[in-house]
Every structure is written in structure tokens, then in C-alpha cells.
Amino acid sequence: MDRRKFFTVTGAGAAAAAAGSVAANAPAQAQPDLPGGACASAKMPSLKARLGHQFGTLSDDTAAWVARYGVDAICTSPKQTDPNRLYPTVDEMNAMLDLANKWKVKVELVDSILLRSSLIDREKHPAIMLADSPERDRDIEAFQNHIRTCAKTGIRALKYNMSILGVLRTDEVPGRGDTLYNRWNAKEAVAKNPPLTKAGVVNADAFWERIDYFLSHVVPVANEYKVQIACHPQDPGTPPGGYRGIDRVLGTYEGLQKFVMMHESPYHGLNLCQGTLSENLENPREELPDCIRWFGTRKKLFNIHFRNIRGHRGDFVAEMFPDEGDIDFVKMLKVYREVQYPYLLMPDHAPRVPGQPNAWRENFPFEFGYIRGLIQAEQHIV
């Protein structure tokens, strides 16, 4: 996007861009009436979203790194002294917060130790997703204890996945400069006929039963302790009938709608990856705004992975720079402003640079600056 276009789009006529077109599979949300015929951008409340980031265990190195680039808050994890304990103690959480305070970094979310985004065959503690009792109940109790430690140490949200297949990609393609982008093509993946995982066949009904069992045990604890539990969508959605025997029910927009309304609670919602949701839409550029409105107006968005793709459901290039994909980030910021989303916008899946010693974080500084600049420009619209 060139400079002239950027300031034109973020100017007084931005309300029309924010409205977007009605998504084919999402009901249009009524827009508020504005008194006196004033333009929407003049009356819309200011943007509340802030720049965030996520990574593994907090250290002096990672804390200094995000502080250097002006990241407002982070999702991370404390160091645990006992690797066999399935939740951190209050002392371990406080040690993490002391380190964050040293670098003037705010921790708002932490990752679940148990429910990760990896392939179930590599999980050390897969019982919740395998419905394997009595280990499942032991692990759910550990998740409940993690909620309690969050409450006792002032952590807003606990982030988790309900994944069996992990993050699926088929190959890498050349990107801008010397970078590589990951790609997913469902037809190519299915044609390779990969084997079942250790989970075997898990159809939609079985998957929903496992989700319901988990939520029935953890949502009441989240309510009691007033800690948000934020689930990441399944990345990406897979063809109808499943892939490797798994029906990914949280890999569709409709599935995510059903999920957040189960055991409905102000503390049960999503760590929504904008990129993953885009991957699961037929026309993400046009459909995504109203999808975000649906979740945003219901206050189900607890964290946003603010990333871009090119393509659509079943065939996309992922891990692109935010300024070059199909999703208009300026337009999306106006949607987050419209629904008064109050939390973090995090870059995610930055393009990889082969051969770099810190290939996983090489390109994040560009994304920090790009997103921070967009946020500041939107906040200055009156």
C-alpha cells in the first residue's frame, strides 16, 4: 500500500470501508444510528486494540526483544521447576511477572501446558483430546488449577488449542526477498493418503462430545475465578468427511459459532487467529469483516492473531507479510474499532528466513512496526 492510499483509506470516508459487504455465511449486524447525520468515523469510539506478541518461556532475551519494539503486552509461559507437573505454581507465575516487570513488559495471557497446537502423536499428555480416562480427568483438573494460578497472579486469560492434527501445511513457496511462505492445498494433502494418527477415526459427533466434556468441567471454574479461557481455531479447516480420520469441527466459521455458544459464558471465547479464520472462508476478503463482527459484538474475542493470507478455504499461501495478502488490514482495524475489541493484535507465523540463527523471529520487527503504525494512525482519526 503506498503512502497516499494509506492516508486516503484511513481518512474521514473510512466508514464505508469498515461496513464491508455482507458475508455469505454471516448475518449482517445492525449499524448504530448516528445523531445529526455525522459521519460514522467522527462518532465511532476510539480504537482500543493494542500491539501484542506471543512466544514460549519468558527470558531476559525474549523480554528485552519485545520491549525493544514497543510491544504493549504478551502471551508467554513461566519456567517450571517440575516438568511432570501439568500447571505452574503461583511462585513460578510470580517469577515470570517479576522478570516481565524488570523489562516493563506486561503479561496478559499464558499458554496451556496441556492443550497445544501440535500433532497428537507428539503430545506428551494427549488424554483430553483422546477422551482417555482416567487420565483425561487428571489433566482437566490440572487445567482447572492453571486457571486458579492465573486468577491469583492477575493474568487475564489462559490460551489453549483443541487439536489432534496440529497445524497442517503441504509445502513451502518462495516469498518476498529471501523468505519462504508455508502453503496448504487440501487436494494435494488428501492425495498423499497419510495414515491415521493414534487418535484413530474421530467423527464430528465424537469431537463435539470431547469438547463438551472439557467445557463442562472448565467453564464453571473460569466463571468462578473470572479468568478468560481462549481457544485457537483449528488451522486450517479440512475437507468434509475429515482428514487422516479427523473431522475438524473447529475448522469452520459455523463450528466456531457453535463452540462459543456452548456453555455460554463471558469467560469462554476465542484466541482468534484472523489468518486461520480467513483460511476457512471461500472469499475471506469479503466475508471476514462480518465474521469478526459476529464474534466481536458478542464479546467472544479474547486475543487476535493479526495475520494475512492469499487464497481461500482448501488452497492458500499462509505466513505472508501483513501488507501483501488478500486481507485489507486497514479495513479490519476499523472493524475491530467498530466492535470495540479491547485486547491485543498479535503478528503470527512471520515468514521464515532460511539460514538465519533466529529464523523464527527474523521478520517480526517489520510486522510489529507495520501493525503499530496502523494502530496509531487509526487512533488519531476523530
Convert the pLDDT of each residue in 331-375 to its tens digit: 999 999 999 999 999 999 999 898 887 777 889 999 999 999 999
Does any domain span residue 226?
yes
Does any domain span residue 284?
yes
Q: Using alpha carbons only, how large is the chain's radius of gyration in Å?
A: 20
Q: State the Cα–Cα distance between residues 248 and 257, nearest whole angstrom.
A: 14
- Give the pLDDT of residue 135: 97
CATH number at residue 71: 3.20.20.150
Q: Is the pLDDT assigned to residue 106 strictly greater than 50?
A: yes
Q: Is the pLDDT assigned to residue 22 strictly greater than 60?
A: no
- Give the pLDDT of residue 45: 84
Q: What cell was used for 31?
A: 449499524
Q: What cell was used for 292?
A: 469478526
- Give the pLDDT of residue 24: 40
Length of the chain: 382
Strand order in the sheet with 180-185: 171-174, 180-185, 315-320, 308-312
Does any domain span residue 21?
no
Does any domain span residue 31?
no
Q: What are phi and psi of 318, to 5 degrees?
A: -110, 180
Q: Is the pLDDT assigned to residue 270 strictly greater than 90?
A: yes
pLDDT band at residue 28 using 50, 70 and 90 as cut-offs: very low
Q: State the Cα–Cα distance between residues 239 and 187, nearest whole angstrom.
A: 9
- Give the pLDDT of residue 355: 86
pLDDT band at residue 6 using 50, 70 and 90 as cut-offs: very low
Q: Is the pLDDT assigned to residue 92 strictly greater than 70?
A: yes
pLDDT band at residue 382 using 50, 70 and 90 as cut-offs: low
Does any domain span residue 227?
yes
Q: For 187-231, what is each residue's pLDDT tens digit?
A: 999 999 999 999 999 999 999 999 999 999 999 999 999 999 999
Q: For 107-143, what is each residue's pLDDT tens digit?
A: 999 999 999 999 999 999 999 999 999 999 999 999 9
Q: In this predicted structure, which of 20-34, 91-105, 283-297, 305-319 has the lowest mean pLDDT?
A: 20-34
Q: Are 114 and 128 in contact (CB under 8 A)?
A: yes
**pLDDT over 90 for what percent of the chain?**
82
What average pLDDT does range 314-326 have in this prediction? 91
Q: State the Cα–Cα distance between residues 364 and 361, nearest whole angstrom.
A: 5
pLDDT band at residue 325 using 50, 70 and 90 as cut-offs: very high
pTM of full prediction above 0.85: yes
Q: Is the pLDDT assigned to residue 14 strictly greater than 70?
A: no
- Give the pLDDT of residue 13: 39
Q: What are phi and psi of 50, to 5 degrees?
A: -130, 165
Q: Is the pLDDT assigned to residue 21 strictly greater than 50?
A: no
pLDDT band at residue 381 using 50, 70 and 90 as cut-offs: confident
Does any domain span residue 27?
no
Does any domain span residue 29?
no
Domain count, the chain: 1
What's the domain range around 268?
Answer: 3-13+42-379
**pLDDT over 70 for what percent of the chain?**
88
